[in-house]
Amino acid sequence: MTDGTEVFKEQYPSLDSYWRSIILFGRNVASYKFALAKSLLEIASTGKTHVTLEELSVPYSKYLCEHIAKAPKQSTSQSSVFLDACKEFNDGKINRTQLINITTAKGFKYVIDAFHVVDHSAIPVEFYTKDYSSGKKQIILTNEIFKLLKLPFAENFAIETESRWKLVETAWALKISRNLLNVHYDESSQMFFVDSNFQRKDVTSARGALNGYQKGKCFYCFDDITVSDDNNNMCDVNHFFPRMLQPLFPDINLDGIWNLVLSCPKCSRGKNGKFALVPATKYLNRLHRRNEFLISSHHPLRETIINQTGKTEAERESFLASVDQRAIDFLMHRWETPAVAPATF
């Protein structure tokens, strides 16, 4: 299969695909990218276009301080004057004015230039441009980010960013080999969690963590979905191979991330919905592509899926085919539904 990042960017080159490429596939050596993404979404929602670094420092430092309060490690580097300032602000050692001044001076050293870079090259669109030509450094929001906010269920972008951020900082906080890090799913809370020293730690909502990899679409019919709790049409977390098979498959974890997809309520439980049927084989191919998107990403979903399904793509394809054969042997019938929008992955 073509590299998952390239497939994700090129197969359906829309604004939301490019934005999600930044969040899901961009390099993770610090959490600045996530704080900047959330700040851009917040500022763009006000309609403001020209933003000085001092103005940008307000939401940017706010988000980092919030995360540092719960997860102190926000970078792979040994030290950071800016992150130290966020910790000092949380501890009451410096005031907000001092924090903003340090953020303006030290907080954007690399992230402004690196934000649009995915796999060592810039994506073809920009959500802001940098203007340091005058005495006051600033960024200028482009039409692209305002168009992004007009897309259906645009509230998903902030939720996805937050979920991705929590997964990354959890990997850093555990300080263990990524190969030993497994993310589990709790169906009752619909949360992903990890076990650290045998103590459960919820890391993020399953919806928020998976939605970006499906480009905000129902896995089965490609209708728009939302992960917002405030929306009556919130999507379902659906087991591709029905969970009712778990007692018959003691050697396979059907709660594994590899088997979880997001679907609109109509496809999962509406009239003529999937319920406990085995999806048609065209969806099996789609599941494989979705999982390869996840594997092309980093920390910790990548390693979790590899551990659950196979170290090579050939092994993962064979694993899915074997589970599919066993599932259809038990349940007998396949299910499919018409697409309501063009395929996006």
β-pairing verdict for 278-279 and 334-335: parallel
DSSP for residue 50: E
Dihedral of CA atoms 290, 292, 298, 301 in degrees, nearest 10, equals 60
Q: Rounded to an integer, what is the distance from CA 142 to the centroid of its chain? A: 23
Between 30 and 325, name the one with better pLDDT.
325
Domain boundaries, the chain: 11-148, 156-335
Residue 6 buriedness (CB in 10 A; 0-12 / 13-18 / 19+) = middle
* Residue 197's pLDDT band (cuts 50, 70, 90): low
> What pLDDT was estimated at residue 179?
45
> What pLDDT was estimated at residue 12?
46
> What pLDDT was estimated at residue 206?
81
> What pLDDT was estimated at residue 178?
45
Digit-coded pLDDT (tens) for 135-184: 789 999 999 999 999 998 999 999 999 998 988 888 777 665 444 456 77
Query: Model-level pTM?
Result: 0.76
* Residue 3's pLDDT band (cuts 50, 70, 90): low
* Residue 6's pLDDT band (cuts 50, 70, 90): low
Digit-coded pLDDT (tens) for 39-97: 999 999 999 999 999 999 999 999 999 999 999 989 888 788 999 999 999 999 999 99
What rounded mean pLDDT belongs to the chain?
87
β-pairing verdict for 138-141 and 50-52: antiparallel
Closest C-alpha among 9, 5, 15, 11 to residue 142: 15
> What pLDDT was estimated at residue 40?
98
* Per-residue pLDDT at 256 exceeds 80: yes
